[in-house]
A and B are shown apart, each in its own frame.
Chain A
Amino acid sequence: MSNSLLSLSGLTKAYPGVVANDDVSFDIREGEIHALLGENGAGKSTLVKMIYGLVKPDSGTMTLRGAPYAPPEPSAARKSGVAMVFQHFSLFDALDVAENVALGMETPPPRRDLARQIREVSETYGLPLDPSRTVGTLSAGERQRVEIIRCLLQNPQLLIMDEPTSVLTPQEVEILFETLRKLKSEGTAILYISHKLEEIRALCDHATILRLGKKVATCTPSETTARAMAEMMIGSSFASPASKHLTPGDVLLRVDNLTMPAPGAFGTPLRGISFELRAGEVLGFGGVAGNGQDELLLALSGERTSPRGTIWVKGADVSRDGPVDRRAAGFLTAPEERLGHAAAPNMSLTENAVLTAGRRQKLVKNGFINWTRADRFAADVIKRFDVRTPGTHVAARALSGGNLQKFVIGREVAQDPDILVVNQPTWGVDAAAAAAIRQALLDLASKGAAILVVSQDLDELLEIADRFGALNEGRLSALRPVADLSIEEIGLMMGGAHDMEVAHVDG
């Protein structure tokens, strides 16, 4: 158990302007689950890409089972027994499961044998999968199974998993953990990357913590607390959001039996969604990605108008109004996918501010933009939400993901909306900034605004929402007060385990 499988020593990789990894050394032992922890931008991804042969280190060495290991490309890594499950899936939508698996293997067997092997492995590890399904039609959890099975078919010694649970329901997470524990008992080492600290405490034997490219600590997760690990990750302590609860006021937003067809080939239709949102209330919608979140946002923002009589703001039917009219009525939305949807990448922060705040902040007069006011508004957002940027003239794409997220959320919050709908407000944001964004949303609610948070981060919803609902295949579950909900109930509301089964431990 204590033999070292892969040891890294002094790995360094610099990109122009940033040192992604600075002298990182640690060992992964045979048959252990080793966590790699760090904020976004701490250098976790670069590190695993070096292990997988996608990136060459500037200096430093790796040894695999005592022999020098320097894979020039991923196929060499796969031959040495290193396999990787990617964070943003490395799958091909238009190809079927068997073809996707074959693409990740060095010497795939003929198709019929491969299909049989896929069925066998998926049986053994409780990950049911039909080899002939087109990947574009699979749910996020099923897509991940494709990736995992692709790795397992090559009998890896070391399995790298990059944030595997961010797209899974709690039940699916539990089953994934069973699979991983089974692999571990068979002697496979797992390098597990995540920032979900409770999961790491439940699963991992050792943890290595990176901050700004450097290894800052190692610990045994089961013997420490999630908060202590979080503080090691960000290097300081931070305040958790606190809400001042009000009794909910009038109904500001009412959605009445909203049904819409799917917008594209792989989209989700909305099926009879109804809810009411009151002043001073935070409503949270959870659910696994691809169950109608983006489509609901499109309908609420007015990008896709819905049938008459389905969306009511303060008693007025806005179903057929476009985004501009809805904004004028105090109904603001901040979509997911910051670059290209929430922000125009090549435009400056001031220009991006004008795009959504032009009317409400009176930045536009007689068709002309008042740049002085616009600049002041953008600067105000930057200051209030601690956006780290040299100034308002900077192009949106130059900001790091977390900073841009703070800006696009802050831009809406600063307009004092009556109703605010946000999708994935803290996606890719570090823990301290996430806490600040959540606090801003709570403050807005305590001033009497109605807030709908759509998120895949359950911890976030449980922290700030008053009531919770889950989206599953375009349907909304019954809304329940968060105070008396357990994680298991939430998982069932999200559609349960999507027919997964626990790994057959006898194999």
Chain B
Amino acid sequence: MDLSNINPILLVASIMISATPILLAAIGEMVVEKSGVLNLGVEGMMITGAVIGFIVAINTGAPLLGFVTAAMAGAVLSLSFGVLTQVFLSNQVATGLGLTLVGLGLSSLLGKPYEGMKTVTLPKLDIPILSDLPVVGRMFFSHDIMVYISLGIVIAVWAFLKFTRAGLILRAVGESHESAHALGYKVIRVRLAAIMFGGACAGLGGAYLSLVRVPQWTEGMTAGAGWIALAIVVFASWRAGRVLVGAYLFGGITVLQLNLQAAGLTWGVQYLSMSPYLITILVLVFISSNRKRSSHDAPANLGQTFHATR
């Protein structure tokens, strides 16, 4: 094994690339869950975003347009989940699982003609001064724009939930839909909006996989990233900052263990492969266990069906 093959600058840079899809999907799902809805269809929305984004980008040559349509595709798909669970009161767990299956099937159908093709990808930004800094410039300031957009979304979600009235209403709806309804807030409308935001974010995350990270279309290419995003939301105890930590940790260890394998570490490849999952979960559990109990509880009405009786 030769550790000198691992270039720390490239390692940090690829961690940011590797974490972005999961970060996007997880921050979207966090908003959905904060409003009290459990959407298990993240994987399906991600892969639909991946295939739609890829198709649009390859046909128009404009990867940014691919991201926009991927977000729209994710939102439309999630709206079907929203209508079924919020209007027709179907079971959220079953509907979410169904959504994943639909997304996987739909994407392989749509993506069949595009397998193995290559698309134009997003250009790396060249930020004046910052990108030219030694070491730090290559690590943090020479990525494509979606990396920074994803970080911007995390900050925006954090500020939205913490400082705005709309964010307060969203949290209130997730905490007690009965009380929110009694005060005259439109529970179902708030939840539908949150569900669509989550779908759009998952679509963006999927498109990042097929347009930047890989960049090509392979059937089933999300390979469980949506499930990891769901797990990160829970272990991050529904906090935007911890979602960021979780996603980067997971992305980081994934990249690191690949680098270790490439560097010739032969012992226990299986253990290396499982390490991102294990370490991410252990670290997030550890962060959450030190705080006061009430501060990391799930939204009280998570996954419960709301029906205004009177």
User: Which A positions have Cβ atoms within 8 angstroms of B?
Assistant: 15, 45-46, 49, 53-55, 73-75, 78, 86, 88-95, 99, 102-104, 108, 134, 136-137, 265-266
Other than the given A74-B182, A90-B183, A266-B294, 8 more pairs (CB < 8 A) read A55-B310, A78-B184, A88-B178, A92-B175, A92-B176, A92-B180, A93-B300, A103-B169
| CB-CB under 8 A for A90 and B294, given A46-B310, A95-B172, A103-B172 | no
Instruction: Find out whether the CB atom of A53 lies under 8 angstroms from the CB atom of B184.
Output: yes
Give the residue among B168, B183, B185 with the most A Cβ atoms within 10 A.
B183
Residues of B within 8 A of A108 (CB): 165
Chain B minimum-CB-distance residue to A134:
B294
Chain B minimum-CB-distance residue to A74:
B184
Interface SS, B side:
helix
Partner of B179, one of A15, A89, A265: A89
Query: Using a CB-CB cutoff of 8 Å, which residues 275-305 of chain B contact chain A?
Result: 293-294, 297, 299-300
Residues of B within 8 A of A54 (CB): 182, 184, 310
Could you write out 26 A-B pairs with CB less than 8 Å apart? A45-B310, A49-B310, A53-B184, A54-B184, A55-B310, A73-B184, A74-B183, A75-B184, A86-B182, A89-B179, A90-B176, A90-B178, A91-B176, A92-B171, A92-B172, A92-B175, A92-B176, A93-B176, A94-B171, A94-B175, A95-B171, A99-B168, A103-B185, A104-B183, A134-B294, A265-B297
| Bound complex: CA A89 to CA B175 (Å) | 13
Partner of A90, one of B182, B293, B310: B182
| Bound complex: CA A89 to CA B165 (Å) | 21
Chain A minimum-CB-distance residue to B176:
A92
User: How many B residues have CB within 8 A of the partner chain?
Assistant: 20
Instruction: Find out whether the CB atom of B175 lies under 8 angstroms from the CB atom of A102.
Output: no
Residues of A within 8 A of B179 (CB): 89-92
| Bound complex: CA A73 to CA B297 (Å) | 31
Give the residue among B180, B185, B294, B299 with the most A Cβ atoms within 10 A.
B294
Residues of B within 8 A of A53 (CB): 184
Instruction: Find out whether the CB atom of B175 lies under 8 angstroms from the CB atom of A93.
Output: yes
Query: Closest Cβ of chain A: how far from B309's Cβ, in Å?
Result: 9
Partner of B297, one of A91, A92, A94, A95: A94
Residues of A within 8 A of B299 (CB): 94
Give the residue among B169, B179, B294 with the most A Cβ atoms within 10 A.
B179
| Bound complex: CA A99 to CA B172 (Å) | 9
Query: Closest Cβ of chain A: how far from B234's Cβ, in Å?
Result: 16
Query: Closest Cβ of chain B: how far from A303's Cβ, in Å?
Result: 21
Query: Closest Cβ of chain B: how far from A304's Cβ, in Å?
Result: 18
Query: Closest Cβ of chain A: how far from B183's Cβ, in Å?
Result: 6
Chain B minimum-CB-distance residue to A107:
B165
